[in-house]
Chains A and B, each alone.
Chain A
Amino acid sequence: MSNKEQQQEYAQKIKPLQPKPPYVINCLKAYLVGGLICVIGEALMKFYMTYFNFNEETAGNPTAATLILIAALLTGIGVYDKIGQFGGAGSAVPVTGFANAVTSAALEHKSEGIVLGIATNLFKLAGAVIVFGAVSAYIFGMIRYAFKTLM
Chain B
Amino acid sequence: MKLQGRQTWKFGDQVYLNSTGTAVGPMESEGPLGSLFDVRYNDLHCNEKNWELAERRLMEDSIASCLGKAKLTNEDINFFLAGDLLNQVVTANYVARGNEIPFLGVFGACSTSMESLAVGAALVDGGFAQRVVAAVSSHNATAERQFRYPTEYGGQKPDTATFTVTGAGAALISSEPSPIRIASATIGKVQDLGIKDPFDMGSAMAPAAADTIMTHLKETGMAPGDYDLIVTGDLSGVGAPIVKMLLKEKGIDVSNNHRDCGLMVYRPDQEVFAGGSGCGCSAVVTYGHLVKELMSGSLKRILVVATGALLNPTMIQQKESIPTIAHAVALEGIKGGSN
The chain A residues found within 8 Å of chain B, CB to CB, are 1-2, 4, 6-8, 10-11, 13-14, 17-19, 21, 26, 75-76, 78, 80-85, 87-89, 91-92, 97, 100-101, 103-105, 107-109, 111, 124-125
B250 in the interface (beta carbon within 8 A)? no
A19-B159 contact, Cβ under 8 Å, with A2-B194, A10-B194: yes
The chain B residues found within 8 Å of chain A, CB to CB, are 49-52, 145, 149-160, 191-195, 200, 203, 206-207, 237-238, 241-242, 245, 274, 321
A104 pairs with B242, CB closer than 8 A:
no
CB distance from B55 to the nearest CB of A (A): 12
- Residues from chain A with a CB closer than 8 A to the CB of B150 are 104-105, 107-109, 124-125
A104 pairs with B152, CB closer than 8 A:
yes
- Lowest 3 A-B CB distances belong to which pairs? A84-B154, A7-B194, A108-B150
B151 closest partner in A (C-beta): A108
In the docked arrangement, what's the CA distance between A14 and B244, Å? Answer: 11
In the docked arrangement, what's the CA distance between A109 and B142, Å? Answer: 11
For this complex, 11 residue pairs linking A to B, each with C-beta atoms less than 8 Å apart, are A7-B194, A10-B207, A14-B245, A18-B238, A81-B151, A81-B153, A84-B156, A87-B156, A91-B154, A107-B152, A108-B145
A88 pairs with B156, CB closer than 8 A:
yes
In the docked arrangement, what's the CA distance between A27 and B331, Å? Answer: 48
- Residues from chain A with a CB closer than 8 A to the CB of B49 are 111
Cβ 8 A contact of B238, one of A4, A17, A78? A17
B153 pairs with A104, CB closer than 8 A:
yes
In the docked arrangement, what's the CA distance between A48 and B70, Å? Answer: 68
In the docked arrangement, what's the CA distance between A7 and B195, Å? Answer: 8
In the docked arrangement, what's the CA distance between A7 and B50, Å? Answer: 41
- Residues from chain B with a CB closer than 8 A to the CB of A101 are 153
Most A CB within 10 A of own CB, among B154, B193, B200: B154
A7 pairs with B160, CB closer than 8 A:
no
A85 pairs with B156, CB closer than 8 A:
yes
CB distance from B156 to the nearest CB of A (A): 4
- Residues from chain A with a CB closer than 8 A to the CB of B191 are 2
In the docked arrangement, what's the CA distance between A40 and B256, Å? Answer: 53
A19-B238 contact, Cβ under 8 Å, with A2-B194, A10-B194: yes
In the docked arrangement, what's the CA distance between A8 and B49, Å? Answer: 46
B203 pairs with A18, CB closer than 8 A:
yes
Cβ 8 A contact of A18, one of B156, B157, B200? B200
- Residues from chain A with a CB closer than 8 A to the CB of B157 are 85
CB distance from B287 to the nearest CB of A (A): 29
CB distance from A61 to the nearest CB of B (A): 24
- Residues from chain B with a CB closer than 8 A to the CB of A111 are 49-52
- Residues from chain B with a CB closer than 8 A to the CB of A97 are 154
Most A CB within 10 A of own CB, among B157, B160, B193: B193
In the docked arrangement, what's the CA distance between A21 and B156, Å? Answer: 12
A100 pairs with B245, CB closer than 8 A:
no
In the docked arrangement, what's the CA distance between A81 and B241, Å? Answer: 30
A103-B194 contact, Cβ under 8 Å, with A17-B238, A17-B242, A18-B238: no
Cβ 8 A contact of B154, one of A14, A19, A92, A109? A92
Most A CB within 10 A of own CB, among B51, B158, B321: B158
In the docked arrangement, what's the CA distance between A128 and B278, Å? Answer: 30
CB distance from B151 to the nearest CB of A (A): 6
In the docked arrangement, what's the CA distance between A80 and B151, Å? Answer: 11
B154 pairs with A75, CB closer than 8 A:
yes
Cβ 8 A contact of A75, one of B145, B152, B155? B152
B154 pairs with A83, CB closer than 8 A:
yes
In the docked arrangement, what's the CA distance between A105 and B155, Å? Answer: 13
- Residues from chain A with a CB closer than 8 A to the CB of B195 are 11
